[in-house]
Amino acid sequence: MDASTADAKARLTDAVGREIVATVMLETTLKGLDSDKNAAVLVPLFDSNGSIRVLLTKRSQFVSSHKGEICFPGGRVEASDRDDVDTALRETEEEIGLAREHVEIVTHLPSILSRNLVCVRPIVGIIPRDARLSVDPREVESAFSMPLAEFLNARIARSRTILWRGQRVLMPFFDYRDSETNQVHTVYGLTGWICLAVAVCVYRKMPEFDLDPPGENEIRQRLKSLLASSQL
């Protein structure tokens, strides 16, 4: 394991890191979920010249939901799956051809509810930097990676306030231009929140943009306190 991914693993699994992730992902809004629809996704991280990148996919136009959206590899839990990790690894291999033996599982993140009321469990994993992918065009249009640190960058971030389960939430959008293809990918929703949470945790830095709706400051203040404690 590279030094950067080893450091990321340590920060994602310590006590403060878990609190940071839970704070950004608004875990309190997800308690008491009553959903019979469950899924798991893999959050694939890898080292690239000493920095962390995250692998993402663009869904095809042939899938039943979220057509053309940016997401993680993953999908619905099947009866034959042993657990959430098994679901995430099975779906990843089916969608992008990344064999499970090439994924080092790091941690489970808090469950998060999709807009279709699917309870999604994110599984963070470390993958090889030179992993060979074989995209299934029926499910995935393309796969690409972006620097994890970009999710803290105000230059590519914008947001709008939405009402989510009775609470006002500031929904971030990240417009990232892929240097290889010159294509702009917009990461938002569940995927954007997870990437943002992982970035804050790994880099132990506040984002350059607001996390709270106008007039509120709860998330920012709690994160500042957590990040200060992690520097002690």
Q: Could you read off the pLDDT tens digit of each residue along the chain, which spans 232 residues?
A: 666 899 999 999 999 999 999 999 875 455 545 567 899 999 999 999 899 999 999 988 776 666 779 999 999 999 999 999 999 999 999 999 999 999 999 999 999 888 788 889 999 999 999 898 999 889 899 999 999 999 999 999 999 998 877 788 888 999 999 988 899 999 998 999 999 999 999 999 999 999 999 999 999 999 999 999 987 5
**How do beta strands 112-113 and 104-108 pair?**
unpaired
Alpha-carbon span 150 to 208, nearest angstrom:
10
Structural domain tally of the chain?
A: 1
CB 196, CB 172: distance < 8 Å: yes
For 77, the domain range is 3-230
CA distance 139 to 58: 9
Instruction: Dump pLDDT digits (tens) for 195-221.
Output: 999 999 999 999 999 999 999 999 999
Instruction: Specify the 3-state DSSP secondary structure of 20.
Output: helix
Sign of torsion, CA 44 123 27 18? Answer: negative
> Residue 180 sits in a domain of what CATH number?
3.90.79.10
